[in-house]
Amino acid sequence: MSGVKWLYISKECKVYKVPNPKNGKFKELKELSGQDVLKVMLYYETKDRKPDKLIFVEFDRVNLDSEGIYELNDERNSKVLKNAFQFIYNTPQELADNKSPFELPLAPSVPSINEKIALYEYLNKKFPNLGKNAPVVVENKICSLKKIHQEKINMIKEANKLRISSSRK
Q: How many domains does the chain have?
A: 1
pTM metric for this prediction: 0.87
What pLDDT sits at residue 80? Answer: 79
DSSP code at position 11: T
> In terms of Cα–Cα distance, which of 142, 1, 114, 158 is closest to 58?
142
What pLDDT sits at residue 68? Answer: 87
Gyration radius (Cα) of the chain, Å: 19
pLDDT tens across 91-146, in order? 999 999 988 898 899 999 999 999 999 999 999 999 999 999 999 999 999 999 99
What pLDDT sits at residue 12? Answer: 96
Q: How far apart are CA 50 and CA 1, in angstroms?
A: 10
Q: Which one-letter amino acid corresponds to residue 93?
A: Q
CB-side exposure of 140: number of CA atoms within 13 Å? 9
Q: Which one-letter amino acid corresponds to residue 143?
A: C
Give the domain range for residue 38.
2-167
What pLDDT sits at residue 74? Answer: 59
* pLDDT at residue 72 is higher than 80: no
Q: What is the average pLDDT score of the chain?
A: 91
What pLDDT sits at residue 131? Answer: 96
What pLDDT sits at residue 134? Answer: 97
What pLDDT sits at residue 100? Answer: 87
With H, G, I as helix, E, B as strand and everything else as coil, classify residue 135. helix
